[in-house]
């Protein structure tokens, strides 16, 4: 099985002008650096992805995980990152961004799904890999595992690995924004994700 973790919201390969303030600089393709050490491929070509933003249950883009035209996905577990990361809400669309700065912010909570190659390709394209986001390996702490597992079912507190889509190019002002550990578009912050972000791509 290949293990992968994802952002928060899905982002297009080409961003509208509103994104320029956040992503100001060319992105270095670090995915190729990690891919050699992080490929866990089995004949069935299934991959685990960690969803921590608008793709989670109850969030605006959740339906995309089960749109069969995108591929197949199966919920496995709830989990959180073992390291802390800044998870902020930015741009006029109120998009959750995970900044690739280990050691800052909070342990980020989310959900692990098993997806097929078709869904993974859809997600990679939707995320703009590798130009805008990079898929990098991180460690996750299992909260509750409810799906099938290879071998013994992981117990709460056990550690697994997955990839995450994060960004290394951001305006310094992002670091002054509130940092969240469990994203909810409908939370008390009042910064509901704007679905027009999809239309404006």
User: Could you give the residue numbers annotated as active site?
Assistant: 127
26 strand-pairing partners: none
Integer Cα distance of 80 and 112 in angstroms? 9
Per-residue b or e along 96-113, where b marks 16 or more CB atoms closer than 10 Å to that residue's CB = bbbbbbeeebbbbbbbbb
Query: Which tokens is 26 given?
Result: 């060319």
Q: What is the dihedral of CA 51, 22, 15, 95, to 10 degrees?
A: 40
Integer Cα distance of 5 and 53 in angstroms? 11
Integer Cα distance of 141 and 163 in angstroms? 13
Question: Using an 8 Å Cβ cutoff, are 94 and 194 in contact?
Answer: yes
Q: What is the dihedral of CA 125, 195, 48, 148, to 10 degrees?
A: -140
Integer Cα distance of 155 and 133 in angstroms? 31
């Amino acid at each position: 099985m290949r293990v992968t973790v994802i952002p928060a919201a899905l982002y297009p390969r080409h961003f509208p002008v509103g994104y320029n303030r956040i992503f100001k600089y060319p992105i270095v393709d670090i995915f190729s650096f990690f891919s050699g050490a992080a490929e866990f491929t089995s004949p069935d070509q299934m991959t685990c992805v960690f969803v921590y933003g608008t793709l989670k249950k109850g969030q605006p883009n959740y339906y995309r995980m089960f749109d069969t035209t995108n591929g197949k996905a199966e919920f496995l577990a709830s989990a959180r990152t073992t390291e802390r990361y800044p998870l902020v809400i930015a741009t006029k669309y109120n998009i959750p961004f995970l900044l690739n700065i280990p050691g800052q912010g909070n342990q980020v909570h989310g959900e692990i799904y098993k997806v097929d190659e078709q869904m993974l390709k859809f997600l990679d394209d939707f995320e703009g890999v590798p130009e805008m986001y990079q898929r990098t390996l991180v460690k996750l702490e299992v909260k509750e595992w409810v799906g099938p597992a290879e071998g013994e079912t992981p117990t709460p507190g056990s550690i697994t690995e997955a990839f995450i889509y994060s960004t290394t190019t951001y305006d310094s002002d992002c670091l002054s924004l509130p940092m969240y550990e469990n994203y909810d578009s409908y939370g008390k912050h009042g910064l509901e994700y704007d679905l027009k972000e999809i239309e404006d791509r």
